[in-house]
Amino acid sequence: MARNIIQKIWDEHVVVSKEGFPDVFAIDLHLIHEVTSPQAFEMLREKGLKFHAVGRAVATVDHNVSTAVNRKVATDAGSQKQIMMLRNNCTEFGVKLLDMDSGKQGIVHVIGPELGLTQPGITVVCGDSHTSTHGAFGALAFGIGTTEVGHVMATGCLLQEKPKTMRVNFVGNMGKGVTAKDLILKLIAQIGVAGARGHVIEYCGEVMSRLSMEERMTICNMSIECGARAGLISPDEVTFEYLQGRECVPKGKKWVEAIQYWSSLVSDKDAEYDSVVEMNIAEMAPMVTWGFNPEQGIEITGEIPRDADIQALDYVRLKAGQRIEEVPVDYVFIGSCTNARLSDLREAADIFRGRKVANGVIVYVVPGSEEVRAAAIREGLDKVFVDAGTDFRNPGCSMCLAMNEDKVPEGKRCASTSNRNFVGRQGKGAITHLMSPIMAAAAAVTGKITDVRKLIK
């Protein structure tokens, strides 16, 4: 029977399928961070269980670390305790920890791909909903809660029900100023925050083959924002080229074997899906969210809908029918697992080069990893950011979820490259507008939400 790539990866990982029980499903790569792991390690101790496969797990600190240039661990006692616990737990159970100043620390979804850990055909979990990022490599990757983090630690497996599958076809080519972030924001606006609930998405369309791995990661990253269990893209030459030579990727004979297996991970021609969505991207403009959930997004040239949700309008202090362009911003955040890779920083730097941050606007540029930061410095991007008047910081999740001291103050408005504009997400009472890195950079230099196409030659 013809199968799609999701079904192929699923079938490969079913360990036990027994009537009356969910499937025992194998997890290949387990990424661990400080916030959603302490209670899971504690569960291993309470039950006297061993860590099943430390060779398939890697830990880092990202959610609550300080991103200050001369940083010390974390600023508050609770975060410091969590980081210390992760260090102790990794030592006790023998899990590799990529700690601060190792040169490899960073947002868990940035470092996995960067190190070559994320590979086609594998299953990846992390106690973080943006684990779907790794789907860019043709991996089945999804976020889990802490109890399940414990299950994977103890057995390398989870109990899972088979997901439904959805094919998303992007039709057409991206115009000037339109990025991968705009494609996914447009999809979420079209199908809604629960549009793909219960499904794993395969992103398709001719445009996919032309996207870089970084762009593919941005798309897969936000799969959860339309409710999907995961989102992935079939691996191809672009994937293999990205992986070749990375630290955790095999060489020689093993590499040849890998390519052979990975090349089989494409959907069969007649494969079926539980649902199919078409989205035309040819004529679209860059996207911006106006409200308090990610489906409340419009094109930069558009107006807030006349029938917009009153609670949302009230929270973001905007009016129905109002144009989104020229709404003034107080803060700009360029970072997060959605948009903090080197290509994102390069594109933002192209906007900042020769320009200054508008008066009164505070701009954080937070690289996704120590490696991204180092690479940006090697290219001189740090100088571009600093000359423009931004704050070029150390890596971490930072202002995306505002667990550390990087917060947007109450009532202030932020142009953000992150993934969620939920109530209070970037700080109590903070207002968030999601957009691409170049759109955020354009907002930074003009002081208001701006159509970046006006700044591109």
Partner 1 sequence: MQEIIKSKIVPLPRADIDTDLIIPADFLTTTSKKGLGEHVFARLRIMEANFPFNLEKYHGARILVTKKNFGCGSSREHAAWALRDWGIEIVIAPSFADIFFNNAMKNGILPIVLEEKIVNEIFAAGDCEIEVNVAAQKVILPSGEVANFQIDPYRKECLLKGMDDLDYLVSRMAEIERFDKRHSKNMFFDTTVL
Site for partner 1 in 62-121 (CB under 8 A): 63-64, 76, 78-79, 81-82, 85, 96, 98, 104, 115-119, 121
* Least distance between partner 1 and beta carbon 331 (Å): 17
Q: How many residues bind partner 1 (CB under 8 A)?
A: 88
Of the two residues 12 and 325, which places its CB atom closer to partner 1 in the complex? 12
Task: Give the H/E segment covering residue 333.
Answer: strand 331-334
Q: Specify burial of residue 334 (Cβ count, 10 A radius: 0-12, 13-18, 19+).
A: buried
* Least distance between partner 1 and beta carbon 348 (Å): 25
Could you give the 3-state DSSP secondary structure of residue 89?
Answer: helix
Residue with tokens 């690289």: 367
Rounded to 5 degrees, what angle do the CA atoms 418, 422, 427 make?
A: 80
Q: Binding to partner 1 (CB under 8 A): which residues in 324-383? A: none
- Let me know: does 233 contact 202? Beta carbons within 8 Å: yes
- Decide if residue 166 touches partner 1 (CB under 8 A): no
Q: Binding to partner 1 (CB under 8 A): which residues in 31-60? A: 35-36, 38-39, 42-43, 47, 49, 52-53, 55-58
Q: Binding to partner 1 (CB under 8 A): which residues in 203-232? A: 224-225, 227, 229
Which structure tokens are listed for 38? 């302490």
222: Cβ contacts below 8 Å, ≥ 6 apart: 130, 132, 184, 185, 188, 294, 338, 419
* Least distance between partner 1 and beta carbon 120 (Å): 9
* Least distance between partner 1 and beta carbon 207 (Å): 28
* Least distance between partner 1 and beta carbon 422 (Å): 4
Q: Binding to partner 1 (CB under 8 A): which residues in 408-447? A: 420, 422-425, 428
- Decide if residue 455 touches partner 1 (CB under 8 A): no
Q: How far apart are the first and last CA of the chain?
A: 51
Judged by CB under 8 A, the residue of 5, 133, 138, 148 near partner 1 is: 148
* Least distance between partner 1 and beta carbon 381 (Å): 26
- Let me know: does 158 contact 146? Beta carbons within 8 Å: no
Q: Binding to partner 1 (CB under 8 A): which residues in 4-23? A: 12-13, 15-16, 20-22
Q: Binding to partner 1 (CB under 8 A): which residues in 169-208? A: 193-194, 197-198
CA distances, 90 to each of 43, 117, 192, 212, 240 (Å): 14, 18, 39, 34, 31
Phi then psi for residue 170, to 5 deg, are -85, 125
- Decide if residue 240 touches partner 1 (CB under 8 A): no
CA distances, 186 to each of 28, 293, 297, 337, 348 (Å): 32, 13, 7, 19, 21
Of the two residues 116 and 409, which places its CB atom closer to partner 1 in the complex? 116
If one counts every other C-beta atom within 10 angstroms of the C-beta of residue 180, the result is 26
Which structure tokens are listed for 269? 């021609």
Build a one-symbol-per-residue string for 388-407: x at contacts with partner 1 by CB under 8 A, - elsewhere. Answer: -------------xxx----
Judged by CB under 8 A, the residue of 71, 156, 169, 301 near partner 1 is: 156
Build a one-symbol-per-residue string for 242-281: x at contacts with partner 1 by CB under 8 A, - elsewhere. Answer: -----xxxx---x--xx--x--------------------
- Decide if residue 151 touches partner 1 (CB under 8 A): yes
Of the two residues 124 and 298, which places its CB atom closer to partner 1 in the complex? 124
Which amino acid would we find at residue 98?
L
Which structure tokens are listed for 322? 């109002």
251: Cβ contacts below 8 Å, ≥ 6 apart: none
* Least distance between partner 1 and beta carbon 380 (Å): 29
Of the two residues 130 and 361, which places its CB atom closer to partner 1 in the complex? 130
Of the two residues 122 and 357, which places its CB atom closer to partner 1 in the complex? 122
